[in-house]
């Protein structure tokens, strides 16, 4: 099979690899589409260090089941599945037992510990795969598997805000803006300073207001979610939220947060992060996007142009999400 492989030189190269064999509880999946996530970029740029190289990146995988292992029975051959970041957990630790498997110390992640979807085939534990609502095409569904899921977990971590600010209007924010709007919330979008096209994009998706991240919203926010990996946005967001409001950092990596005066935290404001996701997050999220239609804006790239896609993501040159188109399924284009 063809695969884009990250090697010790920190670059992706196209190679021919053996098609993997599924283990007892695994399914072999023919990859149709794989989203390009900022976490992939952090790994590619050595800001996150995987436990091994070479490695196949990619954890927003949509594909069809080719075969199952000896104990796999959840999906029939031909079933369409989504493979997310969370690849497996121990199931017995304190975190797993209390429903916080996203914090399991033994968790293994797709495209980090386990070869991911920048390839024509991938294996995954069937217990951690998701069924994708039929209303979403393959390319359209790919960003839902991380940009959507992590954004959804961040939205829930924010409590029940009526006015919510989204800092960094990319793959996650453009999905969550639609969900928040569908839930009756007001969305305030913050983009890079001077990014008028990004601001128009946010307004086209129902944002009440859009401006630069160096601007103040027209009214205090109940909560803010930070998707851009920029630590200086934390104090900016704290200044924008009302007393009792929360700032949720949604990324797996962020530059250092600068010192800030206590008075912008005072008033029972809070700052917190979200980490990874649980299978319940996925079940709940896909139930919601079944009821609230979400349109994912995507730019597609052939598998062999994964580096180009990552470069456009690095440069902030994407509207919505990048997706690698690996194989075709005429019935779901």
User: Which pLDDT score, from 0 to 100, does residue 332 have?
Assistant: 39
Same domain, 82 and 201: no
Residues 78 and 181 in one domain: no
Is pLDDT of 330 > 60?
Answer: no
Tens digits of per-residue pLDDT, 98-145?
A: 999 999 999 999 999 999 999 999 999 999 999 999 999 999 999 999
In whole angstroms, give the CA distance from residue 299 to residue 323. 6
Same domain for 139 and 199: no
Q: Of 106, 222, 203, 75, which is closest to residue 160 (Cα–Cα)?
A: 222
Of 236, 253, 273, the position where a domain reaches its end is: 273
Tokens of 83: 């493979």
Determine the structural domain holding residue 187 and report its residue range: 149-273
Domains in the chain, number: 2
pTM attached to this predicted model = 0.94
Q: Alpha helices of the chain — where are they, by DSSP H?
A: 38-44, 94-97, 138-141, 147-157, 171-182, 196-204, 233-240, 279-291, 306-314
Last residue of a domain, one of 227, 248, 273: 273
- Where does the pLDDT of residue 10 fall: very low under 50, low under 70, confident under 90, or very high at 90 and above? confident
Give the N- to C-terminal CA distance of the chain in Å, as an integer: 22
Inter-axis angle of helices 171-182 and 147-157, nearest 10:
50
């Amino acid at each position: 099979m063809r695969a884009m492989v990250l090697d010790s030189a920190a670059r992706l190269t196209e190679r021919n690899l053996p098609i993997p064999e599924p283990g007892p509880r695994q399914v072999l999946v023919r990859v149709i589409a794989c989203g390009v996530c900022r976490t992939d970029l952090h790994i590619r740029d050595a800001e996150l260090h995987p436990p091994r190289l070479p490695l196949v990146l990619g954890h927003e995988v949509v594909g069809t089941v080719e075969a199952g292992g000896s104990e796999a029975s959840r999906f029939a051959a031909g079933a369409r599945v989504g493979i997310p970041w969370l690849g497996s957990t121990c199931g017995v630790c304190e975190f797993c037992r209390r429903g916080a498997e996203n914090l399991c110390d033994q968790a293994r992640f797709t495209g980090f510990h386990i070869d991911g979807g920048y390839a024509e085939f991938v294996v995954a534990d069937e217990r951690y795969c998701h069924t994708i609502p039929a209303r979403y095409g393959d390319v359209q569904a790919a960003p839902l598997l991380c940009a959507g899921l992590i954004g959804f977990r961040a939205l829930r971590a924010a409590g029940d805000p009526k006015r919510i600010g989204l800092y960094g209007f990319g793959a996650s924010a453009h999905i969550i803006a639609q969900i928040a709007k569908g839930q009756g919330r007001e969305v305030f979008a913050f983009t890079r300073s001077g990014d008028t096209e990004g601001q128009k994009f946010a307004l086209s998706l129902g944002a009440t207001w859009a401006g630069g991240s160096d601007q103040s919203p027209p009214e205090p926010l109940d909560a803010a979610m930070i998707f851009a990996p920029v630590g200086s946005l934390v104090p900016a967001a704290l200044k924008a939220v009302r007393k009792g409001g929360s700032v949720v950092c949604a990324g797996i990596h962020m530059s250092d947060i600068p010192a800030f005066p206590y008075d912008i935290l005072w008033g029972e404001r809070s700052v917190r992060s979200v980490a990874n996701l649980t299978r319940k997050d996925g079940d709940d999220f896909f139930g919601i996007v079944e009821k609230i239609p979400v349109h994912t804006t995507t730019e597609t790239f052939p598998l062999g142009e994964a580096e180009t896609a990552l470069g456009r993501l690095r440069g902030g040159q994407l509207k919505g999400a990048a997706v690698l188109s690996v194989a075709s399924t005429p019935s779901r284009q």
